[in-house]
A and B are shown apart, each in its own frame.
Chain A
């Protein structure tokens, strides 16, 4: 029993449909905003504990570790990209907000 078309050639294999990464990117972006807020709090805490303003930047740097690590695996890469997008968009949008926070903490 043959299922070949009259021409005798089997139809070419159809390419697999591309997987959409919209969910990972959107949810990841929200998580990225949360990540930035948490890292900001960590940075402020480090400043409060050590009394050294220079340690503030350690907070955001620590916040980047997780998404960067996620980018090394194929399965989690798009989560990492989403979180990084959310992190840096929030950094742009909330540019002045964290200054106000630090200023208020400083009295």
Chain B
């Protein structure tokens, strides 16, 4: 474990680098797609506000008994920092901002590769500072020294699943797929983000099996319970869009242009 890299806190350093990488990808993609309207800055601000607030407060009301939940200040200062909460907040923030400034173009295709790369980089900070995962018999498990094991509440010398390493690999592959394939082939505007989030939801549900988070109910962790509700919604949306022909590719002569364009336009208001 490396809580500090020189004078800098490791986690913050990599989250900062992740944000920087995401900004670069977002700007490049926005220019490529010609989405350089000034209002896009407000949309980004909406994502940041929603993401920052929900990242901290998303896990606030986690106990059914309200007396067991932290106060607002305690949650703000000491509560979990939730990636899933941040993603939901950012999604909501984008929608609110688009409503406020009247921006109607889809933005999911700008955010998807940016978030994927940002997460791949940011998760390196988690890998180097947080409890890696549950014990594993594999040869590549991470072994903690006595000091790190005591700080993270686990046993020293026991090989642990590098669950954040799995996530880094997922996001890196997702970024490559989105950047080099999906954005050139998917004709339905904004749907790249839906596919990315659905994929991440399924992957994260599986990673939770080796993450080592607290089991909340029926053998499932809180992120798994959250994903159990949200991932089916995303998959249902994809199935619904597919049935409407939104993902149908245009033939080379463009004869099916009308059949593809119409449903894509109808879905413009859904982020």
Q: Which residues of chain A are within 8 angstroms of B19 by Cβ–Cβ distance?
A: 89, 92-93
Looking at B9-17, B134-142, B216-224, the stretch in contact with chain A turns out to be: B9-17
In the complex, what distance in Å separates the CA atom of A100 from the CA atom of B151?
14
Distance to closest chain B CB from A42 (angstroms):
14
Distance to closest chain B CB from A14 (angstroms):
19
Distance to closest chain B CB from A92 (angstroms):
5
Q: Is there an interface contact between B48 and A95, defined as CB atoms closer than 8 Å?
A: no
A79 within 8 Å of B (CB atoms): no
Looking at B51, B72, B73, B81, the one whose CB has the most chain A CB atoms below 10 A away is: B73
Q: Which residues of chain A are within 8 angstroms of B51 by Cβ–Cβ distance?
A: 88, 92
Q: Which residue of A has the minimal Cβ distance to B51? A: A92
The answer to whether residues A96 and B12 also contact, given A57-B72, A89-B19, A102-B77 and a CB cut-off of 8 A, is yes
Q: Which residues of chain B are within 8 angstroms of A92 by Cβ–Cβ distance?
A: 15, 19, 48, 51-52, 55, 86
Q: Which of A18, A21, A99 contacts B78 (CB 8 A)?
A: A99
Q: Is there an interface contact between A93 and B12, defined as CB atoms closer than 8 Å?
A: yes
Interface residues on A, range: 20 to 34
In the complex, what distance in Å separates the CA atom of A95 from the CA atom of B44?
19
Q: Which of A18, A57, A96 contacts B9 (CB 8 A)?
A: A96
Q: Is there an interface contact between B77 and A84, defined as CB atoms closer than 8 Å?
A: no
Distance to closest chain B CB from A84 (angstroms):
6
A16 within 8 Å of B (CB atoms): no
B242 within 8 Å of A (CB atoms): no
The interface on chain B, measured as residues whose beta carbon lies within 8 A of the other chain's beta carbons, has a size of 26
Question: What DSSP secondary structure best describes chain A's contact surface?
Answer: helix
A98 within 8 Å of B (CB atoms): yes
In the complex, what distance in Å separates the CA atom of A98 from the CA atom of B73?
13
Q: Is there an interface contact between B77 and A98, defined as CB atoms closer than 8 Å?
A: yes
The answer to whether residues A56 and B73 also contact, given A81-B41, A88-B49, A99-B78 and a CB cut-off of 8 A, is yes
In the complex, what distance in Å separates the CA atom of A84 from the CA atom of B56?
17
A94 within 8 Å of B (CB atoms): yes
> What are 10 A-B pairs at a CB distance below 8 A?
A54-B71, A84-B45, A88-B48, A89-B48, A92-B15, A92-B52, A93-B16, A95-B81, A97-B9, A102-B77
Interface residues of B (CB under 8 A from A): 9, 11-12, 15-16, 19, 38, 41-42, 44-45, 48-49, 51-52, 55-56, 71-74, 76-78, 81, 86
Q: Report the 8 A-B pairs with minimum CB-CB distance, sorted nearest first.
A: A88-B48, A91-B52, A88-B52, A93-B16, A95-B81, A93-B15, A92-B52, A53-B73
Known: A56-B77, A92-B19. 13 other contacts (CB 8 A): A21-B38, A53-B77, A54-B71, A56-B76, A57-B73, A84-B48, A88-B49, A92-B15, A92-B55, A93-B19, A96-B12, A96-B81, A102-B78
